[in-house]
Amino acid sequence: MRRLAAAAIAIAAIALLAVGLLPADRLHGFLSAGAGHSVTAGYVDAFRLRAIVCAMVAMAIAVATWRIPLPSPAREAWHSPGIVFWIIVAIGAAARIALLPLPPRYDEAFTVTEFVRHGPLSFLILYKFPNNHVFHTLLVWLVSLVAGDRMWALRLPAFIAGIGVLFATYALARKWKDENTALIATALAAVASPLVEYSAQARGYTMLTLAFLLLLLLDSAIALALGMWTIPTMIYAAATWGVLRIKAWRSAIAGGAITFLLYLPMIVTSGVATFTENGVTRAVDLPTFARELPRMIADLARQWSFSFTMPLAIAIAIAALIAVIRRAPAAMPFAASIAVILPMLLLTRRVPFARVWIFVMPLYLIAAVSTIGDLVPKRASWILPVVTALLAWNAVRAASRPDFYEDPAMGDVPAIAAKIRTLPPDARVLVTTPLDASFELYAPGRIVQDRFDSDPVAVRAAIMAAPRRYFVGSLDEYRRLQLPFTPTPVARFPHATLFELRSPQ
């Protein structure tokens, strides 16, 4: 199997080298046909250089794969847990299932409309936006082939990974301390708001979290590569693992090589800058960094305490701090993550969204429980399912509120889209960010999107050219567009109104 993989990599490297060595006119025609427009001579030259360099690197990986076996993952014995654990997992699963049918948030809808619907030849080759969590997008595309655009189905890859996080949290907590700590940590992970929320969103964050926890458990090169292929911010998780497991350098090299091969089409097509200088991934100046870092930390604290009652959230934070100060073995991975991530942020001057750090939350909970667990008698474990159920209800209630969305009107999108589908076929409906992707998901072909990267002139021309024009939103939003039409309400919904845009008499 190893030599078969080496041969496949070598063949791909030779093919890539052959493309890079094509005559300039033929390569220009090949790339222009693929792009659907004539590409520049500068792009052709850059593509050729990237293709040749990447082909040589891939050939070196093929040779290494042929001669050097992939390091075997560490074997971690699975302890068969008792009934309390399974009840906790069932409660955590129920909380996540309750959120699966909810209308999508912006990034979920964008994942489907911008990547999944364009197929793997698009999202595996082009990295236009950081929203493309590539491995997750691939799994969502596979699900869509069977289930279509049903939101509950498109969320299944994240949901399954989210349940896997509970098992991995239990295994790590038991490995680092004991059964009592493992049960309490799993109970907290089952109801922690970010872990619940992103287990029921079509995003790749729970997949990255699971990959990181499996990396800590197994030192698996495959887990490292798949985490990186999901979201490049896995680099922070990989650095944490590298500090904790310095002797696992062979797995790190192997995982890096696999990651390179998985991203090879994107690197050749778009270059490395497509990952490092793409929108929110850009470095900021020091004053901006100093201003935004505290905001990110405050947002992180709010997210991590959202589903817990405030006294419990404070107790968890104090317990984690005590465990770190005491240098409790179960708290050292969490301490290592802070010690690694903060300098990386300072050196790179990047301030990611707070949700990027979801993978640290299981370590935080394990650290806290290593203190709390000493205060809870083992015979009281039967109380855990009751407390878990109450906190799970709170997590579901919080995530179901309209103000949990970027715009409360996003909860109205399915009902409004149903009304839009009854409009005349030549009608076009103007929507603005963050509603654009959701409406394109539910009413494709009927929407004129005024989104974050739209050309205002093109948007205005599109709505002006429509035989019948409509707008979804509020009157204040419409007035900001400065269009020469009179908005007339057609249908009202809890958080938005559908207007017909009539020409002034």
Residue 79: phi and psi, rounded to 5, are -85, 125
CB of 82 within 8 A of CB of 103?
Answer: no
The pLDDT of residue 505: 64
Per the DSSP assignment, residues forming a β-bridge with 430 are: 448, 471
- pLDDT for residue 377: 72
Q: What is the pLDDT of residue 363?
A: 97
Dist CA 470 CA 487 (whole Å): 8
Give residue 99's pLDDT.
94
Rg (CA), the chain: 25
- At position 482, the amino acid (one-letter code) is Q
Residue 31 has a pLDDT of 81
pLDDT at 401: 79
User: Residue 227: which residues within 8 A CB-CB, separation 6 or more?
Assistant: 207, 208, 211, 212, 215, 234, 237, 238
pLDDT in tens, 93-124: 999 999 999 999 999 999 999 999 999 988 99
pLDDT of residue 278: 67
Is the Cβ–Cβ distance between 328 and 388 less than 8 Å?
Answer: no
Q: By CB neighbour count within 10 A (0-12 exposed, 13-18 middle, 19+ buried), where does 372 fall? A: buried
468 φ, ψ to 5°? -130, 135
Q: From CA 155, how far away is CA 99, in angstroms rounded?
A: 10
Task: Give the separation between CA 351 and CA 282, rounded to whole angstroms.
Answer: 9
What is the pLDDT, as a whole number, of residue 222? Answer: 94
Per-residue pLDDT tens over the stretch 271-298: 887 777 766 667 888 898 899 999 999 9
pLDDT in tens, the chain (505 residues): 778 888 888 898 898 888 888 888 888 888 887 777 788 888 888 888 888 998 899 899 889 888 888 777 777 767 888 899 999 999 999 999 999 999 999 999 999 999 999 999 889 998 888 889 999 999 999 999 999 889 999 999 999 999 999 999 999 999 999 899 999 999 999 999 999 999 999 999 999 999 999 999 999 999 999 999 999 999 999 999 999 998 888 999 999 999 999 999 999 988 887 777 766 667 888 898 899 999 999 999 999 988 888 888 999 999 999 999 999 999 999 999 999 999 999 998 888 899 999 999 999 999 999 998 777 777 767 788 888 898 888 888 888 877 778 888 998 999 999 999 999 999 999 999 899 999 999 999 899 999 888 888 898 999 999 999 999 988 888 888 888 999 999 999 999 999 999 987 6
Q: Please give the pLDDT value at position 281.
A: 67
H/E/C letters for each residue in 116-138?
Answer: HHHCHHHHCCCCCCCCCCHHHHH
Provide the pLDDT for residue 89. Answer: 95
Strand bridging mode 486-492 / 497-502: antiparallel
Q: Give the pLDDT confidence score for residue 437 in this predicted structure.
A: 92
Report the pLDDT value the prediction gives residue 25, as an integer from 0 to 100.
82
